Amino acid sequence: MEIFVLILSFIILVGIRVPVAWSIGISSLLTILLSIQSIAAFTTISQRVVTGLDSFSLLAIPFFIMAGHIMNRGGIAKRLIEFAKSLVGSLPGGLAHVNIVAAMLFGAIAGSAGAAAAAIGSFMSERMEKEGYTKEFGVAVNVTSATTGLLIPPSNIFIIYSLASGGVSIGALFLAGYIPGILTGVLLMLIAFIWAKRKNFPAAKRSSFSQVYRSFIAALPSLFLLFIIIGGIVGGIFTATEASSVAVVYCLILAFLYKEMTLNGLKEVLIESARTISLVMLLIAMSIAMSWIMSYENIPQEITTALLAISDNPIIVMILINLILLFIGIFMDMTPAVLIFTPIFLPVVTALGIDPVHFGVIMVLNLCIGLCTPPVGAVLFIGVGVANTSIQKVIKPLLPFYVAMLAALILVILFPSLSLWLPKLFDL
């Protein structure tokens, strides 16, 4: 009974356009009222919302969000784009490859798909259109490539998965995301290459060694942040939370050294960051409350039993779970999806001998597709907004890029070593 009330009330609330965070909170309250049936239900929900945010690991998320906003305003994204252009700009569809590589580099530093789509898209959209690319193709490239930053560390969503899973190593998750993230980027570049050949999109002149060297030196201070964050976490120098605060300080120093950040600009960055952080943390708080209610009502155990009753073959169960996640990703933002469904599906996959780190990468890669699909795809809306076009026009050029992302997902599912090799190499 409780599971039907939870699901049905949530679907109805989202259907009538109640914001997702409030839909999660209200449906959770209605569900707990069936069990407690008193004013204590309101107290219980309030406690879970507050205590759910009482986590040292979650403190990393506001800092990484702030670092992303600083990078966007501080000239860091521009230098990464110029470096990417010197490397891959001469390939057929050169600017599309520049967009993808720049998004991978930017995401690898900021850990945010939205920030990457906004920063890279605002810089590349007009340039791609001037050189003969269709606006819609540019949006398709920007939107899908921005999601690679959620796999290539540091990644906010891996921190959330660690919390939802009950303590899977953040360092192991960060390392596990490298190869799948790069693989996704390479497959997106392959699609861009084929599309550019068919449409005769232009390629830039091959960069000389001196041009590559100069752009690399200009981007080196930004790229060095990768070694500071990941090296510090893997080396045990600091935690992911401490690394996030180091990232903010380092990005601020770079922004002021590049003379592209003023005190007024910093004020605007802080306001933008506060808005984003408040929305994300509200979603997290409500989702944690819903996860607790599902646990209280034994919903994960019931779903585990039901799935294992269908089959004990890991491949069949993984296909079912991934189909469910693909459907969920279309209608739900990634953060609540990870917080709500990790406690449901993780016991199932661990019962079948699947590594929790491997499943975390699969789950994030799967839900990345939902970020690029209507009607809820947050990154899709950002990309469309930056380029000043419509979702209807972008859907057709997006289709082959969806295929690339699905291909990456299938490869990661079939070959666990793609995500587990690096964590095992560093004994994490």
The predicted-structure confidence for 283-302, as pLDDT tens digits, reads as follows: 778 877 777 777 777 777 77
Cα–Cα distance, 239 to 233 (Å, whole number) = 6
In this model, does residue 26 exceed pLDDT 80?
yes
Contacts within 8 Å (CB) and 24+ apart, 398-402: 398/140, 398/143, 398/144, 398/372, 400/191, 400/194, 400/195, 401/140, 401/141, 401/144, 401/188, 401/191, 401/372, 402/144, 402/369, 402/372, 402/373
Task: Say which range, 143-147, 161-165, 170-174, 243-247, has the weakest mean pLDDT.
Answer: 243-247
The owner of tokens 């300080």 is 249
User: pLDDT at position 202, please?
Assistant: 66
Contact by Cβ (8 Å): 235, 174: no
- Nearest CA among 186, 140, 192 for reference residue 379: 140
pLDDT confidence bin for 330, thresholds 50/70/90:
confident
Higher pLDDT, 116 or 316: 316
Alpha-carbon Rg for the chain, nearest whole angstrom, is 21
Amino acid identity, residue 34?
L
Give this prediction's pTM. 0.82
- Asked if residue 393 lies in contact with residue 364, where contact means CB atoms within 8 angstroms, the answer is no
> pLDDT digits over 186-202, tens only?
999 999 888 888 877 76
Instruction: Give residue 38's pLDDT.
Output: 63
Indicate whether 268 pLDDT > 70: yes
Alpha-carbon span 269 to 115, nearest angstrom: 12
- ∠ CA(249), CA(143), CA(407), 5° rounding? 110
> Residue written as tokens 């939205």?
114
As a whole number, mean pLDDT of residues 141-155 equals 87
Alpha carbon distance, N-terminus to C-terminus of the chain: 41
Q: How far, in Å, are 175, 235, 252, 316, 410 from residue 424 at the CA level?
A: 9, 14, 34, 26, 21
Please tell me the distance from the alpha carbon of residue 378 to that of residue 307, in angstroms, as a whole number: 30
Amino acid at the residue 323:
L
Mean residue pLDDT of the chain comes to 82
The whole-number pLDDT of residue 380 equals 84
Domain residues of the chain, as ranges? 57-261+298-425
Mean pLDDT of 76-90: 77
Residues for the chain: how many in total?
Answer: 428
pLDDT at 428 over 80: no
Kindly tell me if the per-residue pLDDT of 41 is higher than 90: no
- Report angle CA 223, 226, 229 to the nearest 5 degrees: 145
pLDDT of residue 366: 94
